[in-house]
Structure 1
Amino acid sequence: MDSLLFLLELKLEDLPESELKIANYILKQKTNVIHQSVMEVAKGAGASTSAVIRLCKSLDIPSFQELKIMLARDVFIGTSARNEDKGVPDDPASATTKELIQQTSISSIESIKDLAKMVSIEHCIEASKLLIDTVFIHAFGIGLSNGIAFDFAHKMQRIGLLCGYSQETQMQMITACNLKPGMVGVVVSHSGNTKEMVRAAKIMKQNGVKVISITGNPHGDLVLFSDIVLLAPLSEPLKRQGASSSRISQLVLIDMLFSLIIEHRPETYGEYLAKTSKAFN
């Protein structure tokens, strides 16, 4: 079942004002909300009870009771609960320097642990074989995800795989239009709903290009236009910490792909690694 806190963070920007009040109240008072009625939540948020019900519908949750069950699951067994157990505050703005360092470290460690639990070995193997057999790869990503795309392209080129990369969004869109069947596009989107990346994936899919997506959202629009979906966990809310822990899990996921590719043809790719390493020294 989806994380309620994740769904709220994902949809915050799209919610009308009345529902936004409810969403922000739940995010700030999540432990209290578990024990509150619809009327109490509405009063606490300064909104109407109908706004609470509308928020449930916006999140595709059948009832307020179901919303509270999802919230309880997040609070008591989710990332927030793990942090609270270790004495780490939910709000970085109120943390001391020591707490902030501890929080960042714990979040990063938990992100890698979560990745190890949820990563699909089958999808990773399938993706690595697709990357080996293709004639050309191009990595896509904007904002924070652009750095992940760069790391992916860098690793592919280190072992002799032809992989393109562009930092500029319009150039990425042009490339998406010009890729042909037999080629592969690797699209990185933290939320899975970045409109430019969804559009690029859709264009490539229409042109017969295979699309591998790296995302934290299994229900994002990007998934609809992907042949292989590689999930990296969202270990913090989308607006917190610049998504640092999620970037770490995505980088580790790319390292996994890199290792699998080398494992397929160790002599060939080992030779490329030796050549590029020698060039750096």
Structure 2
Amino acid sequence: MSNFQSIAKSNYENLTKAEKTVIDFILADVAAASMMTISDVSKKINVSIATISRLSKKLGYQSYQEMRLKVYDGHDAQSSKFFPNLTKDDSFVEIATNSFYMSKISLDETQSILMEEDLKKAIDLLAKVKTCSIFGLGASQVVAMNAFHCFLRSSLNCTYIQDYHLQMMSLTKLGENDCLFLISHTGHNKDMIQLATIAREKNIPIITITSNRHSPLAKLSDIILVSVSDETKYRPEAVSSLLAQIALVDALFMIYAIKVDDNEEYLLKSRAIINKTRLSSEDD
């Protein structure tokens, strides 16, 4: 997946029907579309030039020309490495290599659309809150627990609760000086949306990691960090998403530790305690 495809995918749900037609046409044949002028595309799919121009700017490009140049970027290199038709006859290493490659793509694409402003807003918020409650449901609980594990080693006062009903109850103890840190792959989970809705009513700031910038959950959030993932015949999209989300959490922790804590005190304290639980070399 090229950077253009990642951006298009994360914004797709919020596009108009005509804009989606343009995206579908481009992605159906990237090589051909990248060589077409805005007039060519307009005539081919019967969509106005103004619509295509608005789409370009909505996706963050200055013009259609800039978007067109990005459409094909990276397509050749990736298509030559990816195994599009894995079969039972492929070796174990080939199949494993494909899995690793798809993980790398998710990480690279997530990194490529990171925005300095979003990261700064997230860190500035975490630096001033009294308590950060970290919530995730289903597979996203893995990411939420990892975030809690990371930030326990910092100065951030954070909590992590697995059970949805307990998460709901815990919101009664939070206020506008606290924050919610939500993780949701699709951003459409009803329970997560309910948590965010209650938080909004209480003016509790929300940081969300999701793959869809325009999902219902994202629209309720103050700060959105997008994780890019891809679905293949053998690998569900959520698997790639988990890896990208964990990487985002790790990046936030590193930034917080360097920019906010600015010393090793918290890391050394937690490390010293953990070391007590391990056998020394003399005990081996």
Aligned to 2:28: 71
The 2-side partners of 1:182 and 1:102 are apart by 46
| SS at structure 2 position matched to 1:158 | coil
> 1:77, CA displacement in angstroms?
4.8
Tell me the percent identity: 25
Say which is worse superposed, 64-73 or 250-259, in terms of deviation: 64-73
Contact 1:177 1:203 in 2 (8 A): no
Distance, in Å, in 1 between the alignment partners of 2:190 and 2:31 is 28
CA RMSD of aligned residues (A): 3.4
Contact persistence 1:166–1:172 (CA under 8 A): yes
Q: Deviation of residue 177 (structure 1)?
A: 4.4
Residues 128 and 215 (structure 1), Cα distance of their counterparts in 2 relative to 1, 3 Å cut: same
Q: Deviations over 1:62-81 (max 9, x none)?
A: 28963333433499859997
Once the two structures are TM-superposed, the CA of residue 242 in structure 1 deviates from its matched residue by: 6.1
Q: Distance in 2 between matches of 1:94 and 1:179?
A: 55
TM-score by length of 2: 0.70
Query: 2:266 corresponds to which residue?
Result: 272
Deviation larger for 87-96 or 250-259: 87-96
Q: Which amino acid aligns with 1:61?
A: K
Equivalent residue number for residue 246 of structure 2: 251
Q: Which of 133, 142, 147 is the aligned partner of 1:147?
A: 142
The answer to whether the 8 A contact 2:82-2:101 is kept is no
Q: Is the 8 A contact 1:83 1:103 kept in 2?
A: no
Q: Which amino acid aligns with 1:224?
A: K
What CA distance in whole angstroms lies between the structure 1 residues aligned with 2:132 and 2:186? 22
CA distance in 1, matches of 2:206, 2:20: 38
Give the equivalent residue in structure 1 for 2:231: 236
Q: Structure 1 regions of 5+ residues with no counterpart?
A: 12-57
Q: 1 CA distance for matches of 2:142 and 2:220? A: 22
CA contact (8 A) 1:83 1:89 kept: no
Give 3-state SS (helix, strand or coil) of 1:62's partner: helix
Q: Distance in 1 between matches of 2:74 and 2:189?
A: 24
Match of 1:62 in 2: 18
Q: Whole-Å Cα distance in 1 between the matches of residues 130 and 123 of structure 2?
A: 13
- Post-superposition CA distance 1:200-223 (Å, at most 9, x none): 111101111000000111111111
Write the deviation string for residues 66-121 of structure 1: whole angstroms up to 9, x where unpaired.
33334334998599976542151256888653332111111111122112210111
Contact 1:141 1:149 in 2 (8 A): yes
State how 1:1-281 maps to structure 2 within 5 Å: 60-62=16-18, 66=22, 67-73=24-30, 77=72, 84-89=79-84, 96-236=91-231, 240-241=235-236, 243-268=238-263, 270-281=264-275
Question: Between Structure 1 and Structure 2, how many residues are aligned?
Answer: 232
